[in-house]
Structure 1
């Protein structure tokens, strides 16, 4: 017999797709898996829904009339760090990278296994849960695990969920070289299929935010191996 989580504890998922059959399939399937689901059929409605009542995660289709998935991503990333899983029927790596570059935390290419969608959503939500009260500090970079506040000196860094977890992984392991495979395991929990340079893409995002205004580079490339967060006194 199927058992569902109590309504008060069910993670909320916003599903965005203009195809009514896919929208209904996702709504029903995710509800059976224990999620509270809100389904909308346009990008404009998705932006309004997040502003009205932020969900725990968003499943977002790229190909929609009017405001497409890329437009929704850019609109949401202007003021929200809600985890976003991007759905695309396109098989071109460039399109997937564009989604990640616009602020998506993960993606799936259609057709996909429903079980994989559920697993990825749960991983995104786990990463977005409030953390224990702890503050990590490396030189002038300060990361608060509970409030999700990140600062470099007096400057507040506006990070996406994935960027936050990426910085956390390095700040918990200063002066240690992390391979791309290690970063994928620590931050994503698995290796996203199809985009082999997803770590490099997100390192680039994080570096730009850390180095804004001419600040020094804390994240360094170890050619052929991976990346390292070096402390100034190391």
Structure 2
């Protein structure tokens, strides 16, 4: 597969929150690094190129506002700030310092990822969202699947399922993970829903059906070999 790798830095002193965001971001095709305080985030930004920064405001030592002001002296990386407060002053200060968006705690990880993708598109930082596996081509923004010169018309959920698996090539995704990320975290359905959609998706893919492999007792993975 040939696609652009997206890198995310998550700066928050709450380890469990960092892991939660990282889990959902990786399912969206991001490679994540974590920082437990503002200074560590600043140091990582000096050493590594990231596509977006998730920055908590309330951290020990430097807070998010101080970190953002320092970062903006030399970087225009898109920044989404996390806050447990909803005061208008805080948001205005963050925007004046150069924040691209705000998310208030507690938040839905899916909403955060939607905001991440919206910010990347708005700032022109989003990569060309095309996944290519041999003659299978997935145009994410256009919601178009092609095999060679043939267009494959997939129902919406099958398309979303194919994208999720393809974005996580070689990674086994459990049925529960697929339910949460494709059908929605609040979806209360039987995991057999995933199985039935995978079966239908394979039928639509025809000769390329073997790209989606069953990992018995666990879930599914997308596996392409030239």
Q: TM tier, shorter chain? A: 0.5 to 0.7
Aligned to 2:117: 122
Secondary structure of the equivalent of 2:39?
helix
TM-score normalised per structure 2? 0.53
Report the equivalent of 1:70: 65
CA contact (8 A) 2:38 2:62 kept: yes
Superposition pairs of residues 6-25 of structure 1, within 5 angstroms: 9-25=4-20
Q: Which runs of 4+ in 1 moved over 6 A?
A: none
1:28 aligns with 2:23: yes
Aligned mates of 2:122, 2:90 — CA distance in 1 = 25
1:41 CA drift (Å):
0.5
Task: List alignment gaps of at least 5 residues for structure 1.
Answer: 132-234
What is the RMSD computed on CA atoms of the aligned residues? 1.8
CA contact (8 A) 2:9 2:32 kept: yes
| 1:130 Cα deviation after fit | 6.5
1:49 aligned partner: 44
Question: Residues of 2 paired with 1:73 and 1:21: CA distance?
Answer: 23
Number of positions where the alignment pairs a residue of Structure 1 with one of Structure 2:
126
CA distance in 2, matches of 1:90, 1:130: 28
Q: 1:51, CA displacement in angstroms? A: 1.2
Secondary structure of the corresponding residue to residue 12 of structure 1: strand
* Equivalent position of 1:192 in the other structure: none
User: Which segments of 5 or more consecutive residues in structure 2 lack a partner in the other structure?
Assistant: 127-226
For residues 124 and 64 of structure 1, do their structure 2 counterparts lie closer, same or farther at Cα, with a shift above 3 Å needed? same
How many angstroms apart in 2 are the aligned matches of 1:36 and 1:66?
A: 27
Relative contact order (C-alpha < 8 Å, sep 6+): which is higher? 2
2:99 is aligned with 1:104? yes
1:84 aligns with 2:79: yes
Structure index of larger Rg: 2
Please give the secondary structure, in 1, of the residue aligned with 2:44: helix
